[in-house]
Structure 1
Amino acid sequence: MKQTVKRQARTVPLVLSVSMLVPALAACSGGDSDDTNNRRTLRIGMMYGSADNESYVRQQYTDMYELAHPNLDFEFVNAIDYSDMQYSSREEQMKFNAQDPIEKLKAIMTGPNPVDVIMLDTGTMGKLVEENLLKPLDSLIKEDKVDLDAYLPNVLDSLREQGNGQLYGLSPTFSSSALFYNKKLFQKAGVNPPTDGMTWDDVYNLAERMKSGSGKDAIFGLALNDWSSGLDYYNVTNIAAPLKLRMFDEKAENMTVDTDQWEAVWKRPIELYKNHAIPGPEDLQPEQPQDGSYRYNQFDNRPFFTNRVAMMIGSYGMTNDLKTYNDNVGKMKGKEAIDWDVVTYPVQSQAPDMSGSMYLDQLTAINAAAANPDDAWEFIKFINGKESAKFKARSTYELSTLKEFAQPKEGQSFHIEAFYQLKPLNVSSSDSDQKLYREMPNLNLISSLAQPSFQKALSGKLSVREALAEWQKNGNELLPKIKADPTGNLDISAYMDYGDGMSSPRAMVMQAAGG
């Protein structure tokens, strides 16, 4: 009986808060929101989706708005429905993947029953703008006196670039990574900590200055990701993203990786790994007591939480993990608090204002052929506005695009501007590249060929340029096979020789050095 009373007591404030919220939202919208005789449907188009994830999308974007607008129904239309291939054969899945997502999206925008709102990414938005398929928002923004100064300027600048100077879409949130650093380690070493706007070469040089000691006392300069240490081809791919280097030509007939540009991208991080400025998987393995007293700790295998890594690339979500760690460090035997801060994600000198790690998560735009453009704009205005941002700001993994809510969580103090000072990277490939990958899905195998060659360069079995030449040679042998069999099961095992049959990059380095 007491438990029932407690549950009811907890429920009352929730019911009251929701009941108070609904009129508030209704007040912010059109005056006929409660007119059930004026029932309408707002159709939202998405590039990908399925019925399985619709409830999540509704929770994220429409439930709160629908609660305040009982006369408005939401209908989701997926240009490509994942459930169509869920139980398909491999051949059918290949055909599914060969579909042109832009053309499928255009079909639900221009058909007999067009969608009203489009949820999309920046690259897709740019293509739709070129074909005049989206409604510009500038006049609506001006008419409703939407305060654009409240938004992060780099986000708006990026969106305007995709719209040839105009705004065609807005995004309520974004995800981003930055360079975390350990203040105590820099102070102890007498080295100035990293600053905003540093290039990757700057960070590499700083990492080498920060490495010291050996064995259990070793301090490492840089870790490229959380949860794991080491270095592989995919880490380097992320670093090089703003350079937009090609693996093969526009006809997918010849490889293009045996170049000075690719060599420069691989060379420095490999040098840092060999010099132990970047730790390997074996370097930070926690010691486990032999008496059976070991208890799992989620932070044990995460490089930055050992207080032995000076800098690390981490996402915004890591700020919350660091707070959790420092709040509970007193309960962890042998652990100490981390004094940390962040600076902007390292840049390439050729793209000094571009972050390779900032992404607009869900752009919303109005279909130029929308049957219900007024409701579409009211909805977009709401999910990108202050009322919605109050709730989005509670997220532990993404940030609000509104300045007021892009702030550290209560009780934290760090340089949060580092997560949004740079511009988001437009990661979309050219139309010709997208067409090639759709027509020949096996082109994805070319990237897989890079890892064995990269590991040989890491071990010293090959020089960087020799490793790139090997990747190019193997790729040139595979490309004709891909063209002849673009969707079949191609055996690439002959190209997956890692050198010594060893899976550990550090072990390969040690063996090459005679250790």
Structure 2
Amino acid sequence: MNKKTKLTRKWIMSGLTLSLLVPTLAACNTNKQEDSDSVRTLRIGTMYGSKQDEQYFRQQFTDMFEFTHSNIEIEVVPAIDYSEMQFGDQTEQAQVDPLKKIKDIMTGSNPVDVMIINDLSMLGTLVNENLLKQLDPMLKEDEIDINEFVPTVIDGIKEEGNGFLYGLTPTYTPSALYYNKKIFSKAGVELPTDGMSWDQVFNLAKRLKSGTGKDSVFGFSFNQWGAGDNYWDVQNFAAPLQLRMYDEKAETMTVNTPQWEAIWKSATDLYKDHVTPHQDDMQYGPTDGGMGAGKEVYNPFQGQLFMNGKVAMTVGDYGLINQIQQLNDNSEKLKMDPLEWDVVSMPYHVGKEGIGGSIYLNQLSGINANAANSEDAWEFVKFMNGKEWAKLKARSTYELSARKEYVKPRDGMTYNVEAFTKMKPAPQLNSSLKDQELLRNAPNLNLISELGTKYYAEVIEGKKTVKEALTEWETKGNDLLQKIKTNPKGAIEGYGETGGGGVVRPL
């Protein structure tokens, strides 16, 4: 075959190929045109929002989905509008019922298809109200392996769904126990490990306390900022135990018990023994007293005693790694020693193994049981929790991916990242349907907690023993509960203004 014949044959074959491709391309264009002609609206509900922050929400959740699904338009529907709260009648705000507002957009004449839930306990509430579709059958049909997700995330969601999945989240914000390797080494104390109880951690902390004044080193702090006199830290510490302040009818106090006494005593003993820092200790800088010693040296981590090498162990969320990285990258400029650190899993309370506090699943997406567009709703939930989206979200420096494949240490860093995956979230206090209803109907019940803050402070100040404080809290609390029963929302003499529990606060 000569060269001219070969060339002729080549052009003939190319022509045949093109002739076969033309109808295919035409069909693709026709299908694309048909798709574009059948544009559908997907209504996505949020717990809170406004027109002003809708752009941010779309960037975080929906822009990529709309880009890849050109025939689906997203409509964002907030249950509670920030702007209405800001500019509306302040007296009416106290009457806002978040659950009612959410139910309104899920059960009205034009219900939302997807609900984005920022609160794990609200997920459980919506499940019990039969407002969400179970996702397990859809996951099975699409052959999505739930074992590819972090078990603690899935277990936490299932606990709110009575053993089933009614929502998924692409990311979560866990906490862990951070520790300073140098302090342990200098004290000759063994390093902490995953799976320790609170008692074990506190025993380590007592062995690590040393020095006085500007030379003090503290064994532990309940938060990265340091001071150990914060009542809310104790509430978080006790969260896995689900200790109640009053009974389910809000008629009788339940704080004068051995469990409450043990929790308060553990925390206040650490404070009294100076194992945890006091407010006065917050002034000291990294090694020489810093600004507290009269030196005008700027320290962006002033007051964060763990960052300054003054606390051996602290509870911190995943975002604390950002600050550690910042410090270590700029240690020479700050004239500070780089932090030699690592993390272990959150400690547990005996009897509540596997449960740790302060784990937030704040991007939960579920499908409304009343959705008019349930197929696109599932497509959105599936996309939001798929591998492609997980790969993008894995870049976050404040959250971890819920997919095991993308749970990795930051580039250039080495630490025990698995510590953030081992503990299930602790149930939130007063998160049951009955408790939420009690607080909505009687916002003055928040005064009971404020009373607890007062008595805890008196223990810290040495004015009362733990037993005395809890006994008095019980007595005064029972009296207050009776007054709240007759006056659930108005001012109560001797207790200031209303507790304000009904005012909606952004989560």
Identify the TM-score tier after normalising by the shorter chain. Answer: 0.7 to 0.9
Which residue of 299, 302, 310 maps to 1:300? 302
Residue 481 (structure 1) aligns with: 483
> How many angstroms does 1:245 deviate by?
0.9
Q: In the aligned structure 1, how far is the partner of 2:146 from the partner of 2:138?
A: 12
TM-score (norm. length: structure 2): 0.85
Q: Cα–Cα, structure 1 residues 34 and 459, in superposed 2: closer, same or farther, change >3 Å?
A: farther
Which residue of 104, 111, 123 maps to 2:101? 104
Amino acid at match of 1:294: E
**Identical columns (%):** 51
Q: In the aligned structure 2, how far is the partner of 1:256 from the partner of 1:75?
A: 46
Specify the SS of the correspondent of 2:355.
coil
Residue 114 (structure 2) aligns with: 117
Alignment check: 8 A CA contact 1:224 1:231 kept: no
Q: Cα–Cα, structure 1 residues 219 and 444, in superposed 2: closer, same or farther, change >3 Å?
A: same
Residue 252 (structure 2) aligns with: 254
Q: Which runs of structure 2 are paired with 1:66-215 in the superposition (5 Å)?
A: 66-96=66-96, 99=97, 101-120=98-117, 121-215=119-213
Q: In the aligned structure 2, how far is the partner of 1:291 from the partner of 1:451?
A: 32
Q: In the aligned structure 2, how far is the partner of 1:290 from the partner of 1:276?
A: 19
> How many angstroms does 1:105 deviate by?
2.4
Amino acid at match of 1:78: P
After the TM superposition, which of the residue ranges 222-231 and 241-250 deviates more from structure 2? 222-231
Residue 25 (structure 2) aligns with: none
Alignment check: 8 A CA contact 2:291 2:297 kept: no
Q: In the aligned structure 1, how far is the partner of 2:198 from the partner of 2:293?
A: 44
Specify the SS of the correspondent of 1:309.
coil
Structure 2, gaps ≥5 residues long: 1-30, 498-507
Q: Cα–Cα, structure 1 residues 89 and 472, in superposed 2: closer, same or farther, change >3 Å?
A: farther
Q: In the aligned structure 2, how far is the partner of 1:33 from the partner of 1:245?
A: 60
Amino acid at match of 1:266: W
Alignment check: 8 A CA contact 2:239 2:427 kept: no
Q: Cα–Cα, structure 1 residues 91 and 481, in superposed 2: closer, same or farther, change >3 Å?
A: farther
Deviations 1:411-456 (A, max 9, x none): 1110011111111223262222111100111111211111221111
Deviations 1:6-47 (A, max 9, x none): xxxxxxxxxxxxxxxxxxxxxxxxx85993211110001223
Q: In the aligned structure 2, how far is the partner of 1:37 from the partner of 1:224?
A: 57
> How many angstroms does 1:322 deviate by?
0.6
Amino acid at match of 1:44: I
Residue 448 (structure 1) aligns with: 450
> How many angstroms does 1:494 deviate by?
8.0
Alignment check: 8 A CA contact 2:283 2:291 kept: no
After the TM superposition, which of the residue ranges 447-456 and 210-219 deviates more from structure 2? 210-219
RMSD: 2.3
Specify the SS of the correspondent of 1:365.
strand
Alignment check: 8 A CA contact 1:34 1:69 kept: no
> How many angstroms does 1:336 deviate by?
0.7
> How many angstroms does 1:143 deviate by?
2.7
Residue 273 (structure 1) aligns with: 271
Q: In the aligned structure 1, how far is the partner of 2:467 from the partner of 2:150?
A: 42
Q: In the aligned structure 1, how far is the partner of 2:33 from the partner of 2:339?
A: 51
> How many angstroms does 1:251 deviate by?
2.1
Q: Cα–Cα, structure 1 residues 494 and 144, in superposed 2: closer, same or farther, change >3 Å?
A: closer
Q: In the aligned structure 2, how far is the partner of 1:193 from the partner of 1:34?
A: 64
Residue 218 (structure 1) aligns with: 216
Does 1:423 pair with 2:421?
no
Q: In the aligned structure 1, how far is the partner of 2:60 from the partner of 2:33?
A: 21
> How many angstroms does 1:150 deviate by?
2.0
Q: In the aligned structure 2, how far is the partner of 1:203 from the partner of 1:290?
A: 29
Specify the SS of the correspondent of 1:67.
helix
Q: In the aligned structure 2, how far is the partner of 1:411 from the partner of 1:322?
A: 13
Does 1:314 pair with 2:316?
yes
Structure 1, gaps ≥5 residues long: 1-30, 496-515
Alignment check: 8 A CA contact 2:226 2:277 kept: no
Alignment check: 8 A CA contact 2:442 2:488 kept: yes
Specify the SS of the correspondent of 1:299.
coil
Residue 409 (structure 2) aligns with: 408
Aligned length: 461
> How many angstroms does 1:72 deviate by?
1.6
Q: In the aligned structure 2, how far is the partner of 1:359 from the partner of 1:75?
A: 26
Residue 49 (structure 1) aligns with: 49
Q: In the aligned structure 1, how far is the partner of 2:226 from the partner of 2:181?
A: 21
Residue 237 (structure 1) aligns with: 235
Amino acid at match of 2:78: N
After the TM superposition, which of the residue ranges 34-43 and 45-54 deviates more from structure 2? 45-54
Amino acid at match of 1:265: I
- Find the structure with the greater CA-based Rg: 2
Q: In the aligned structure 2, how far is the partner of 1:410 from the partner of 1:396?
A: 11
